[in-house]
């Protein structure tokens, strides 16, 4: 059967072959991205960038050490979001209903260093991030998602919460734990 396919490829016109190769390449890219081989992150640890509407994007670290260093320099506590980004319904709701809202983003820039500790089921992670996240979940006895911890730069827990339906309620809960 493979020989038949090869013979058909050699008999194709150049334009047919180009279209076939383009189609195949497109399918491979789509399968690669949607199949969980690449996890697009809306929270890459990067410098503050300006979005198209002029607002500043919030930085989410995925490295505990990077968040810890920023916490030490800034004097701000770390807000660690233990999440299952590709399987946990309440984690996605927390991101959509709270973390992605301008009210929370403005509060977070002024008050905390953000750390996302993700436990995906369909997406791949760098082995060092996966190992770090497993170690932290064990250290802080995380047994449900989402769990949000406030901690100081040394990693001491200051407070713990989960999903709240809106930014104001979530911020109030966090501030009560920081007092």
Give the CATH class of 60-178: alpha beta
Confidence at residue 144, expressed as pLDDT on a 0 to 100 scale: 97
Question: What are 92-138's pLDDT values in tens digits?
Answer: 999 999 999 999 999 999 999 999 999 999 999 999 999 999 999 99
Q: What is the mean pLDDT of the chain?
A: 81
Domain boundaries, the chain: 2-34, 60-178
C-alpha pair distances (Å), 46 with each of 41, 43, 80, 135, 173:
11, 8, 17, 24, 27
Amino acid 169: pLDDT: 96
Q: How far apart are CA 79 and CA 61, in angstroms?
A: 10
Query: What pLDDT digit, counting tens, does each position of 7-41 carry?
Result: 554 565 555 556 555 555 554 444 443 343 333 34
Region of residue 126 (phi > 0: left; psi between -120 and 50: alpha; otherwise: beta) = beta
Which residue, among 47, 160, 66, 51, has the nearest Cα to 100 in the 3D structure? Answer: 51
């Amino acid at each position: 059967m493979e020989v038949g396919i090869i013979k058909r490829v050699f008999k194709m016109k150049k334009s047919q072959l180009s279209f076939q190769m383009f189609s195949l390449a497109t399918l491979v890219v789509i399968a690669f991205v949607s199949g969980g081989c690449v996890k697009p992150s809306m929270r890459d640890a990067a410098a503050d960038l300006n979005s198209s509407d002029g607002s500043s994007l919030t930085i989410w670290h995925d490295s505990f050490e990077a968040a810890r260093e920023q916490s030490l320099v800034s004097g701000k506590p770390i807000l660690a979001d233990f999440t299952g980004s590709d399987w946990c319904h309440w984690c996605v709701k927390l991101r959509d209903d709270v973390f992605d809202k301008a009210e929370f983003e403005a509060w977070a820039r002024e008050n905390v260093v953000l750390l996302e500790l993700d436990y995906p089921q369909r997406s791949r992670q760098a082995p060092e991030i996966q190992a770090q996240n497993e170690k932290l979940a064990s250290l802080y006895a995380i047994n449900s998602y989402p769990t949000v911890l406030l901690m100081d730069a040394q990693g001491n827990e200051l407070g713990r919460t989960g999903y709240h339906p809106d930014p104001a309620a979530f911020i109030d809960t966090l501030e009560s734990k920081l007092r």
